[in-house]
């Protein structure tokens, strides 16, 4: 079984065992996701941009970052489950779209701008 | 190969083909993740909480939500890759921790509070 | 002197007295803002939508919410200062634009959709 | 009248004229705030950290940044209004707390860490 399917099923069981389905409407889950993204941001906010990647290899920060990334992923998986969205499929489609929209020869070394 | 590993490898190739590694320091990737979470929030912000889940089954919103969830997942996977974090492993650990921290009998129907 | 100007000046002094200007580049300040928005989201994530406003009048949650709103405002003011943006002026302009873009007769009881 | 009070009153009128109060429960307003913070993040995500402040002086980006900061401020003010929170007062209190918690001599040039 795939990673994402396994994690989805485990989250589903975890939720049911605590009768927490009642809290997992989409807006609440998005707010929970925002909370975890905020905790991730706090770990990196004051690190110098050019050394942040190396600093994140220090054991304590590496551990904490893994925990926050995990929290974001778990709420994302739960949200997709509640909304009947196949997350792996959606990600593959999106990546194919981006591959077409941003041809390497036009976007080489050039970040797409968002205005 | 697992979903998350496959998506990680595809994102890595996608990035290298465009020479976008230079943009993918952790702080920039977290900001990109925040941008996608913001787009997800905008899809749901004004929907009534109690019908949001049903409304999200309408084809247009279902499609758009899948795209935004995909974008969040792809940046999350890319961030984990840049930081040498095994996302599936981190999520499994976190879920085990939560299973211990929130025993069903103590937290049945009771959302854990964050102060 | 206006509220926003006074708060801007106080934040400026607070920052200079600690020699924290060096941390206050725009991307770092946006991440700090994201961290505070995340803490705000965590206070409300599991509250039922239809009673959240009343629940937020309970003294402890009212106090905590005020603190998080304050943190968001202070980083926003600091970010505007670093970027030489007159926040009060920008907000008045934006509100005038919205007044024109959303004529009451066309948008009465109708939330503008974001696709 | 102070800036924040004036903006609060104008937002209140703007909302009432469109009968949008019905959408402005706290969780919806926080999601709207998240949406605007996401748009702000997108403007800066790929800019090099060390030149982002200068780049943000270019007229187009300066204008766009002002608009996004304004949107964040307006939703923040609206949220405070709905929750009966005096935003200026809360910010002054928070700044006084931080002044005490972070004595300049202990935190000179030292960003407070969040674990």
pLDDT in tens, C78-100: 999 999 999 999 999 999 999 99
Query: Does D34 map to a domain?
Result: yes
> Percent of chain A having pLDDT more than 70?
97
Query: Does B11 map to a domain?
Result: yes
- C51 by Cβ neighbours in 10 Å (0-12 / 13-18 / 19+) ranks as exposed
pLDDT (mean) for B10-25: 97
Q: How does pLDDT run across C4-57, given as a tens digit for each residue?
A: 999 999 999 999 999 999 999 999 999 999 999 999 999 999 999 999 999 999
Q: Dihedral angle at the C-alpha atoms of A16, B109, A75, C112, nearest 10 degrees? A: 120
Give the C-alpha separation, A24 to A37, whole Å: 18
Give A-chain residues touching C78 at CB under 8 angstroms.
none
Task: At C17, list the tokens.
Answer: 């007295």
Q: How does pLDDT run across B67-113, given as a tens digit for each residue?
A: 999 999 999 999 999 999 999 999 999 999 999 999 999 999 998 87
Give the C-alpha separation, B36 to D39, whole Å: 9
**Does C112 have pLDDT greater than 90?**
no
Q: Which chains touch B (3 or more CB pairs under 8 A)?
A: A, C, D
Q: What is the 3-state secondary structure (H, E, C) of C67-106?
A: HHHHHHHHHHHHHHHHCCCCHHHHHHHHHHHHHHHCCHHH
Q: How confident is the model at residue D1 (pLDDT cuts 50, 70, 90)?
A: low
Give the C-alpha separation, C111 to C94, whole Å: 17
Which of A14-28, A98-112, B84-98, D22-36 is predicted least confidently?
Answer: A98-112
* Total domains in the fold of chain D: 1
Task: At D75, list the tokens.
Answer: 């939703």
D46 backbone φψ class: left, alpha, beta (φ>0; ψ -120 to 50)? alpha
Answer for the pair D85, B75: CB distance below 8 angstroms, yes or no.
Answer: no
Q: How confident is the model at residue B58 (pLDDT cuts 50, 70, 90)?
A: very high
Nearest Cα to B1, choosing from B71, B90, B88?
B88
Q: Minimal Cα distance from C35: which residue of B? A: B34
Query: Does D45 map to a domain?
Result: yes
Report the largest interatomic distance among the alpha carbons of chain B, rounded to a whole angstrom: 52
**Does A112 have pLDDT greater than 90?**
no
Answer for the pair C79, C33: CB distance below 8 angstroms, yes or no.
Answer: yes
Residue C1 has a pLDDT of 65
The shortest C-alpha distance from A96 to chain D (Å) reads 22
Task: At C70, list the tokens.
Answer: 């304050």
**Does D106 have pLDDT greater than 70?**
yes
Query: Does A31 map to a domain?
Result: yes
Give the C-alpha separation, B101 to B93, whole Å: 12
> Percent of chain A having pLDDT more than 90?
94
- Output the domain CATH number for residue A18: 1.10.287.1080
Q: Pick from A28, A32, A45: which is nearest to C32 by CB?
A: A45
Q: How confident is the model at residue A115 (pLDDT cuts 50, 70, 90)?
A: low
Task: At B82, list the tokens.
Answer: 């840049």
> Percent of chain C having pLDDT more than 70?
97
**C4-8, long-range: CB < 8 A, 24+ apart:** C4/C77, C4/C87, C4/C88, C4/D3, C4/D4, C5/C88, C5/D3, C7/C73, C7/C74, C7/C77, C7/D88, C7/D91, C7/D92, C7/D95, C8/C77, C8/C78, C8/C80, C8/C81, C8/C87
Q: How does pLDDT run across C57-81, given as a tens digit for each residue?
A: 999 999 999 999 999 999 999 999 9
Give the C-alpha separation, A93 to D32, whole Å: 27
Name every residue in C having a CB less than 8 A away from some CB of B.
27-28, 30-31, 34, 42-43, 45-46, 48-50, 60, 64, 111, 113-115
Nearest Cα to D20, choosing from D87, D68, D78, D84?
D78
Query: Does A106 map to a domain?
Result: no
Neighbours of A103 (CB within 10 A): 11
Residue A33 C-beta-side C-alpha neighbours within 13 Å: 30
Give the C-alpha separation, C47 to C43, whole Å: 8
Neighbours of D53 (CB within 10 A): 18
Q: How confident is the model at residue D115 (pLDDT cuts 50, 70, 90)?
A: low
**Does C105 have pLDDT greater than 70?**
yes
Residue C115 has a pLDDT of 57
**Does A1 have pLDDT greater than 80?**
no
Nearest Cα to A18, choosing from C44, B49, C52, B95?
B95
Answer for the pair D44, D69: CB distance below 8 angstroms, yes or no.
Answer: no
Domain residue limits at C70: 3-106
Q: How does pLDDT run across A51-95, given as a tens digit for each residue?
A: 999 999 999 999 999 999 999 999 999 999 999 999 999 999 999
Q: How does pLDDT run across D58-104, given as a tens digit for each residue?
A: 999 999 999 999 999 999 999 999 999 999 999 999 999 999 999 99
Query: Does C111 map to a domain?
Result: no
Query: Does A115 map to a domain?
Result: no
Phi, psi of D47, rounded to the nearest 5 degrees: -75, 140
Show the CA angle centred on residue C21, arms to residues C19 and C27, nearest 5°: 145
Q: How confident is the model at residue B115 (pLDDT cuts 50, 70, 90)?
A: low
Answer for the pair B45, A30: CB distance below 8 angstroms, yes or no.
Answer: no
The shortest C-alpha distance from A106 to chain B (Å) reads 9
Nearest Cα to B65, choosing from A82, A35, C34?
A82
Query: Does B16 map to a domain?
Result: yes
Q: Pick from D25, D38, D41: which is nearest to B41 by CB?
A: D38
Asked casually if ipTM beats, i.e. exceeds, 0.95, the reply is yes
Give D-chain residues touching C76 at CB under 8 angstroms.
69, 72-73, 76
SS3 content of chain B, % helix, strand, coil (to 5): 75, 0, 25
Q: Pick from A28, A38, A49: which is nearest to C35 by CB?
A: A38
Give A-chain residues touching B47 at CB under 8 angstroms.
26-27
pLDDT (mean) for A25-52: 98
Report the largest interatomic distance among the alpha carbons of chain A, rounded to a whole angstrom: 52
pLDDT (mean) for A20-41: 98
């Amino acid at each position: 079984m795939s990673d994402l399917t396994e994690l989805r099923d485990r989250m589903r069981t975890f939720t049911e065992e605590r009768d927490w389905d009642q809290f997992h409407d989409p807006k609440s889950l998005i707010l929970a996701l925002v909370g975890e993204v905020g905790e991730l941001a706090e770990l990196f906010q004051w690190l110098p941009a050019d050394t942040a990647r190396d600093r994140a290899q220090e054991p304590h920060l590496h551990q904490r970052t893994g925990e926050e990334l995990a929290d974001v992923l778990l709420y994302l998986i739960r949200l997709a489950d509640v909304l009947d969205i196949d997350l792996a499929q959606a990600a593959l489609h999106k990546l194919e779209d981006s591959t077409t929209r941003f041809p390497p020869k036009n976007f080489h070394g050039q970040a797409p701008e968002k205005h």
